[in-house]
Amino acid sequence: MKLQSYWLDTAPSFDGAAITPLPTEVDVVVVGGGFTGLSAALRLRQQNRSVVVLEADRVIGEASGRNGGQCNGGLAHDFAALAAEIGRERARAMYQSYLDAVETVASIVAEQHIDCDFTRCGKLKLAAKPEHYGKLEQVYRELAAEIDPHLEMVPAQEMGSEINGPFFGGLLQKNSAQLHVGKFGVGLAHAAARLGAQIHEYTPLTGLRQIAGQAYEVQTSKGNIKASQVLLATGGCATGPLAYFRRRLIPVGSFIIVTEVLPQSLIDQLFPGGRNYVTSKNIGNYFRLTPDNRLLFGGRARFAMSNPRSDEKSGVILRAAMVAMFPALREVRIDYCWGGSVDMSADRLPRAGQHKGLFYALGYSGHGVQMSVHLGQQMANTLCGKPSLQPWENAWPPIPGHVGKPWFLPLVGAYYTLRDKLS
């Protein structure tokens, strides 16, 4: 079994990184070479801004190259509860933003000719208990008429054509998609580099000194750059002088296993719908088939951070969950196991805005494949003085008691596990 991301292992390598020294001055420094940073770099170059991307390690080496490959439309939140809390129009704008984000990914794939197995497969949220189906129906009634025309209920008796597992019906979101995130990320990086973005790998940001307004002296391991603007796109692995943001984001470990290639007969039997699947529990699982017909199965598994030395423990937990759902997979070999860090905000909603002249797009809370690409583009437009068309520039208080390691995560995990047992 390989303890590394299937996506990174099966994608071509990125060979467009800058080999020249850092420039002394640039219009925009983008910190982070994941989907947010690369998408922003592409859009900035399309608007003729000079751009340097600083990546502490390799491009898409963190969440963007380690995720479940689900590019889903719609908020994961309970829409009615969110609307009651923040107002229906704002909740609606947030929901719409996720629908728009899927379209942003689709249009970049098409315009930049990125070969990444992008498929409009739909997402099926699976009722893990009989009573969860009623809750999904409530969501459907709330949204289908005027907010999301792509929704459809799949009752229990019709599930045979979708999936063969212990589920009690589901809610289908038809415009959701899936893609090979390794190929997409490398294609996105090549597209940005082709247009002239300088992507510097293994070049961490080490310091920031505000010169005036939005202008910063950006300090890196390889020298300093004067930037008229800085965009932080550092995800859940933010290192360096970013304490303000770390106090607002909880890094949460999420883990994935990938099976050996499954015979077509087993796929036809278990996953005839070929969707993105997500279960309805708070601490649930997500899964899909890979382009070469393996099952990718993910979840929180343990409330621990990902670490190549201990990810295998999460793999054992995930395998047990997978076999409990699909006993026919009992003898199937696991070929890959890895983990990554999710940048969780307290309300599980992203944030994109400006703090002390620094621009940022962060906090995707585990639903960022589509939104990171979308907000990269949106923030690039904002930096170029265009009106903001995204609803994520909201108040962002620090998380009380959170100054370093998220010591409280096991307690939060225990709380939600108990809620899953009781609900």
Ligand X SMILES: Cc1cc2nc3c(=O)[nH]c(=O)nc-3n(C[C@H](O)[C@H](O)[C@H](O)COP(=O)(O)OP(=O)(O)OC[C@H]3O[C@@H](n4cnc5c(N)ncnc54)[C@H](O)[C@@H]3O)c2cc1C
The answer to whether 132 and 168 are in contact (CB under 8 A) is yes
**Among positions 69, 122, 273, 299, the unique one binding ligand X when judged by CB under 6 A:** 69
Please give the Cα distance from 398 to 238 (Å, whole number): 16
What is the number of other CB atoms lying within 10 angstroms of the CB of residue 211? 12
Closest separation between CB of residue 328 and ligand X, Å? 24
Please give the Cα distance from 138 to 170 (Å, whole number): 12
Please report whether residue 57 would count as binding ligand X according to CB under 6 A. yes
Q: Which two tokens stand for residue 102?
A: 């899927």
Residue number closest to ligand X, CB atom: 368
Please give the Cα distance from 280 to 130 (Å, whole number): 11
Please give the Cα distance from 423 to 376 (Å, whole number): 37
Closest separation between CB of residue 352 and ligand X, Å? 10
Q: Which stretch binds ligand X (CB under 6 A): 17-25, 59-67, 147-155, 411-419?
A: 59-67
List, in sequence order, every residue forming a beta bridge with 322; answer none if it has no partner: none
Q: Which of residues 354-413 bind ligand X (CB under 6 A)?
A: 364, 366-370, 372
Please report whether residue 11 would count as binding ligand X according to CB under 6 A. no
Closest CA to 392 of 355, 360, 352: 352
Q: Which stretch binds ligand X (CB under 6 A): 26-34, 113-121, 320-328, 409-417?
A: 26-34
Please give the Cα distance from 270 to 330 (Å, whole number): 13
Please give the Cα distance from 398 to 280 (Å, whole number): 29
First-to-final CA distance of the chain: 36
Contact track, ligand X, 234-253, x by CB under 6 A: xxxxxxx-------------
Closest CA to 113 of 172, 188, 57: 188
**Among positions 27, 50, 140, 204, the unique one binding ligand X when judged by CB under 6 A:** 204
**Among positions 52, 63, 106, 139, the unique one binding ligand X when judged by CB under 6 A:** 63
Q: Which of residues 255-274 bind ligand X (CB under 6 A)?
A: 256
Q: Which of residues 96-155 bind ligand X (CB under 6 A)?
A: none
* Residue 298 vs 391, nearer CB to ligand X: 298
Closest separation between CB of residue 288 and ligand X, Å? 8
Closest separation between CB of residue 298 and ligand X, Å? 6
Contact track, ligand X, 301-340, x by CB under 6 A: ---------------------------------------x
Phi, psi at residue 117, to the nearest 5°? 55, 35
Query: Can you say how many angstroms the Cα of residue 267 is from the centroid of all Cα atoms in its chain?
Result: 26
Chain positions contacting ligand X, by CB under 6 A? 31-37, 54-57, 61-64, 66-70, 204-205, 233-240, 254, 256, 286, 298, 340-342, 364, 366-370, 372
